[in-house]
Amino acid sequence: MRIVLVGPPGAGKGTQAGLLSEKLGVPHISTGDLFRAHVEKATELGLEAKRYMDAGELVPDGVTNAMVHQRLVEPDARVGFLLDGFPRTVAQADALNVCLSDNGSKLDAVLELEVSERVVMERLLGRGRNDDSEEVIHRRFEVFRNETAPLLEYYGDRLVTVDAVGSVNEVTTRALRALQALP
């Protein structure tokens, strides 16, 4: 299966992607994790990305698309993947389409984790990551509303929406059921 996971910051994308990728037997590909690994290794890409990440801004599409493309051509991603945190802009979604149609494949579903801003703000403030100060969180929400939310309409018929309020297991179960119910 080829799945994209979309949701506001703090919706639990990383947690759910990890669990779902295990159940579905496809690699979990998180652009946030890929960027953080580059930052840790202090690569050129990492140094460039860090400036944006620390400010809650998106890393420019060119850099991000190239990194994802490189990951998607690895053998394990050929049979399927669960993309977490990508695409985050319509331009990235277009780039993903090109990348997939080059291989004669397409997305099976876009899984939206739906949760209110109030709930996720509480979660995020308790998480303590570098880019989790209140100011940066607000900016990440703004970026989500402006840049990423338009994807929900973009993906229209492939969108599968799941209520992301509840225990981790409840949300995983809902997501698996919704995916199994796909035509």
User: Taking a C-beta distance cutoff of 8 angstroms, is the pair 158, 109 a contact?
Assistant: yes
Q: Which is nearer to ligand AMP, 16 or 92 (CB)?
A: 92
Q: Which is nearer to ligand AMP, 2 or 140 (CB)?
A: 140
The residue range among 82-90, 108-116, 153-161, 174-182 that interacts with ligand AMP, by the rule CB under 6 A, is: 82-90
Residue 59 sits in the site that holds ligand AMP (CB under 6 A): yes
Residue 86 sits in the site that holds ligand AMP (CB under 6 A): yes
Q: Which residue is nearest to ligand AMP (CB)?
A: 32
Of 5, 18, 16, residue with least CA distance to 165 = 16
Residue 31 sits in the site that holds ligand AMP (CB under 6 A): yes
Q: Which of 52, 90, 174, 178 binds ligand AMP (CB under 6 A)?
A: 52
DSSP 9-55: TTSSHHHHHHHHHHHHT--EEEHHHHHHHHHHTT-HHHHHHHHHHHH
Of 76, 95, 90, residue with least CA distance to 29 = 76
User: Taking a C-beta distance cutoff of 8 angstroms, is the pair 11, 127 a contact?
Assistant: no
Report phi then psi at 121, rounded to 5.
-60, -45
Give, as ranges, the residues between 123 and 162 that touch ligand AMP (CB under 6 A): 140
The residue range among 55-63, 70-78, 94-102, 103-111 that interacts with ligand AMP, by the rule CB under 6 A, is: 55-63
Residues found near ligand AMP in the complex (CB under 6 A): 9, 31-32, 35, 52-53, 56-59, 64, 85-86, 88, 92, 140
